[in-house]
Amino acid sequence: MSASNRRWRVAAMPSGQLESSHFDLETADRPEVPDGKVMCRVLWISIDAAQRAWFQGATYRAAIQVGDTMPAFSIGQVIESRCDDFAPGDIVTGHLGWQDYAVVDPHDLKRLVHKRPLSNHLSVLGITGLTAYFGLLDVGQAKPGETVVVSGAAGATGTLVGQIAKLHGCRVVGICGSPEKQKWLTSELGFDAAVNYRDDAFRKALKEACPKGIDVYFDNVGGVTLDTALGAMAYRGRVVCCGVVSQYDTSTPVRGARGVPGVLIIKSITMRGFLYTDYAERFDEGLQALQGWLDDGSLTVTEDILEGLEKAPEGLIGVLNGSNVGKRMIHVADPS
């Protein structure tokens, strides 16, 4: 094991679209582990569109600054511990960043007990799965027989939202960005229909796919897609505000959904934003349900894995362009 550490350092703040030049891959000596801390080998790095949003300013976390190691949720293995809570060999999750080794406070780590492949804990059994589960069923209050529409349908959260909605007895329509994804959603994931937001006839196609209106719109993208869906909602429909991917890769996001608040009043619509952490007390319930569907084969896991730490910037840029299918992540190393 080398005594050096590679880390992706934020070299410049993006003013428009994110590019590789905004990151530097820096190699330095691994730091010492101070008393009370832990050093982890990074194994898997989660790549999420929201990471681009962290450049836009403080949100539920502080804004990214030049010089920072690019932050990211990850799976790691403890290789040195100077605290009582963790021992070398432990598999953990936490914000370890885009790097080979991270020295962290043990309070920021969670021990991972796993039966399935580690990668699943960044997808269906991780933040993504919990977001889809609680977002659809609790925030969105989806009921059997209702029409559920999800945008970013071929992405990490969207693939799970659509499948869970089908398992729940809903009619499911996916919104995605290519004919290939449309076909894949209906033929492989069991969606009832899929429409392409890049098509000129998108608005019409969405309405035709939802003849009774949209009961639950699970929104991962915001922007024009949200505006269009708002125009197709059913009376007492619910909009689950989960992400705004269309507005992340810019320094001048469009702020404001057309028709809000007027259309909400006319159709008695609820729009509700959430973070998966709102459901911290119910994580076990969510994980148990997801695990059950995995065990009986009713949920297809879609992971989009890039090999090697050096792929992190292009991995994120790709997610912002919609080039991924399912949950994107970086495989950095295997546990010892």
Q: What count of other Cβ atoms lies within 10 Å of the Cβ of residue 107? A: 10
Q: Which is nearer to a copy of itself, 93 or 247 (CB)?
A: 247
The 56-75 contact track toward a copy of itself, x by CB under 8 A, reads ---xx---------------
Kindly indicate which of the ranges 39-47, 96-104, 147-155, 267-275 contains the residues binding a copy of itself, using the contact rule CB under 8 A. Answer: 267-275
Residues 6+ apart with CB under 8 A from 167: 293, 298, 299
Q: Determine the size of the site formed for a copy of itself (CB under 8 A).
A: 35
Q: Which is nearer to a copy of itself, 112 or 260 (CB)?
A: 260
269 touches a copy of itself (CB under 8 A): yes
Nearest to 136 by CA among 185, 181, 178, 169: 169
H or E element that contains 207 = helix 202-209
Q: Is 219:132 a contact under the CB 8 Å cutoff?
A: no
Selected binder of a copy of itself within 90, 100, 146, 219 (CB under 8 A): 219
260 touches a copy of itself (CB under 8 A): yes
257 touches a copy of itself (CB under 8 A): yes
Residues 6+ apart with CB under 8 A from 260: 230, 271
Identify the sign of the CA torsion 299, 170, 224, 202. Answer: positive
261 touches a copy of itself (CB under 8 A): yes
226 touches a copy of itself (CB under 8 A): yes
283 touches a copy of itself (CB under 8 A): no
Q: How far is the CB of 254 from a copy of itself (least distance, A)?
A: 9
Residues 6+ apart with CB under 8 A from 106: 36, 37, 38, 81, 83, 85, 86
Q: Which residues of this chain interact with a copy of itself, rule CB under 8 A?
A: 59-60, 219, 222, 226, 236, 239, 241-244, 247, 253, 255-275, 278
